[in-house]
Structure 1
Amino acid sequence: MGTPLGDFIRAKRDNTRPEDLGLPAHERRRAPGLRRTELAARARISVEYLTRIEQGRDRNPSDPVVNALADALSLDAAERAHLRYLSKISGGACAGHVRPAPPDRTVRPATRQILELLEPGVAFVTNRLGDVLAHTDSFALVMSDTGLLDAEQPNVTRYVFTHPRAGATFIDWHQVADEQVFSLWLGPSTESFEWFTADFAPVAGAEFTRRLHRHLPPPRVPLTMNHPRADRLRWNRETLELPAPDAQQLVIWLPADEATAAAVDQLRHRPQRTALRAV
């Protein structure tokens, strides 16, 4: 059985062009990407050792080895941070444990006050599993009629992979899907990740499981969506980590163009304004 660390290294190796690392590109290759022999040579470790790491037979490579692999793959800062994170959780990936409970959904009063201050901005509180824990009125307006907030406990990840309207809502559906799955790996605990994926993977299907073992950080790009009453909206997104015990994030959507700002302003002039809602 593989590990998150081994899956990431193998995925990154398969997606790295040899010519980007100064290696001959004209050689005949049975598969795209780097060969194990090439990566091992660049990291100055044996091919056999690299194979054990990729296959999950070695779950505790030292920090120097992890750093050497990061250098050999020319990882950027975000990818290096993710590699270090995976190296920590992979060491205990096979340890037995009692089935954990879902993460706490409580939103602190201070966080709710921040949301109030952000009105009429488009913002919500979430966690790495994708739960929508609280939101501003404007977020409700933007997501109205999309189906996201119809659930008793709204969850963006579940919405993206299981709701029939998700593909029409998010124009760049594949980008959003990549972001949601990658975010699972950044959760505060392996237990929460395993609790969510064990229940969700059978429902979400192949699109979810195929991404689950990719481990490649998606690029930061604007979010583009279709709104039932405002046509196309484009957002720049900022994510602020809340204090560690919360294990939550405050996400703010900022209009990426004047057309989006004008469309949202029109939505806000609806006759009835709902109250701040905690989910």
Structure 2
Amino acid sequence: MSERTPLGEFLRARREGLGPQEAGLPAYGRRRVPGLRREEVALLAGVSSDYYMRLEQGRETSPSPQVIDALATALRLDDETREHLRRLPRAPHAHGGVPAAGQDRISPRLRRLLDGWADTPAFVLGPALDVLAHNALAAALHSGFRSFDNLARMVFLDPAGRDFHQDWARAARSCVSEIRAAHGHDPGSPRINEVVGTLCARSPEFAGLWSRHEVKGKTGQAKVLVHPEAGALEIRFSAFTVNEAPHQQLVVYQAEPDSATAAALARLRSRA
């Protein structure tokens, strides 16, 4: 009797999202399934179709590292997603467990650091994208939301999210892929599963993105945020792992010096 496993769910989602031409295979006629067929992935990975089917169905749960790497190559995974795949055979199947120590506690030193950056919005995130701490300017920047509490909830469930993010689709996809990356490290996390369950139930868009099993940790990039009073702000952000609490991330927003965005942030700071 088959049982759904994190590995099997991932393989199926990524197989269905990869077309034959992307995988280097010829596409003949009309296909009855989205993406690749199971036997095509098996062929590309150099394993039997029966063995690959058992992996997807959860009847085989301990593939060798060589098989995992062959599957990652067959599915055209990038380095970060390949590492995610390597963790999945070790992932527990049941939802639930004990939160990792220190996930929701902020050290006094980190709080002082946040408050010392008066000119820069900065905040600390937990693995489920909960906002664990922030400085005054970060609160002022997100003042259009009902609550500055969880980035995923703010993007998908707060009406302000669609106006705040100029490229809402990109922000939505980033939130989901970041939570998926955290889930791969700790699939038994009660908090991550609570956030995912709530968002899947209340947002069809989140549920659809979650089913794609895309993985991407938070990295530095540029984006445009639209504040209800300050207008469009061109922001570049950086995310840093907190060494004393590895499940936390410090996120810092910056504007180009002497830019219109820097001036707008200064006005927000004066009112914060």
Per the TM superposition, whether the score is higher than 0.5 is yes
Deviations 1:3-43 (A, max 9, x none): 22222222222222322333224544234422222211110
Q: CA deviation at 1:136?
A: 1.7
CA distance in 1, matches of 2:11, 2:50: 14
One-letter amino acid of the counterpart of residue 33, structure 1: G
Moved more, 17-26 or 230-239: 17-26
3-state DSSP of counterpart to 1:19 = coil
- Aligned counterpart in structure 1 of residue 40 of structure 2, from 12, 28, 38: 38
The aligned length equals 263
Partner of 2:206: 208
Q: CA deviation at 1:243?
A: 2.1
Q: CA deviation at 1:100?
A: 4.5
RMSD: 2.8
For 1:22-61, list aligned pairs within 5 A. 22-25=24-27, 27-61=29-63
One-letter amino acid of the counterpart of residue 214, structure 1: R
Residues 198, 78 of structure 1: alpha-carbon distance in 2 compared, 3 angstrom cutoff: closer
One-letter amino acid of the counterpart of residue 264, structure 1: L
- Kindly indicate whether the alpha-carbon contact (under 8 Å) linking 1:15 and 1:32 is maintained by their aligned counterparts in 2: yes
Residues 118, 59 of structure 1: alpha-carbon distance in 2 compared, 3 angstrom cutoff: farther
3-state DSSP of counterpart to 2:22 = helix
- Kindly indicate whether the alpha-carbon contact (under 8 Å) linking 1:66 and 1:87 is maintained by their aligned counterparts in 2: no
Residues 169, 112 of structure 1: alpha-carbon distance in 2 compared, 3 angstrom cutoff: same
Q: CA deviation at 1:113?
A: 2.6
Partner of 1:226: 226
Moved more, 133-142 or 100-109: 100-109
CA distance in 2, matches of 1:25, 1:141: 52
- Kindly indicate whether the alpha-carbon contact (under 8 Å) linking 1:230 and 1:263 is maintained by their aligned counterparts in 2: yes
- Kindly indicate whether the alpha-carbon contact (under 8 Å) linking 2:174 and 2:216 is maintained by their aligned counterparts in 1: yes
TM score, norm. by length of structure 1: 0.81
CA distance in 2, matches of 1:140, 1:178: 23
Q: CA deviation at 1:147?
A: 2.4
Q: CA deviation at 1:178?
A: 2.2
CA distance in 1, matches of 2:57, 2:195: 21
Partner of 2:108: 109
Partner of 2:250: 250
Deviations 1:168-205 (A, max 9, x none): 22232232222222222333522225642475246533
CA distance in 2, matches of 1:23, 1:67: 19
Q: CA deviation at 1:86?
A: 2.4
Partner of 1:192: 189
Gaps of 5+ in 2: none
Residues 124, 74 of structure 1: alpha-carbon distance in 2 compared, 3 angstrom cutoff: same
CA distance in 2, matches of 1:208, 1:162: 10
TM score, norm. by length of structure 2: 0.83
- Kindly indicate whether the alpha-carbon contact (under 8 Å) linking 1:178 and 1:218 is maintained by their aligned counterparts in 2: no
Moved over 6 A (4+): none
Q: Percent identity?
A: 34
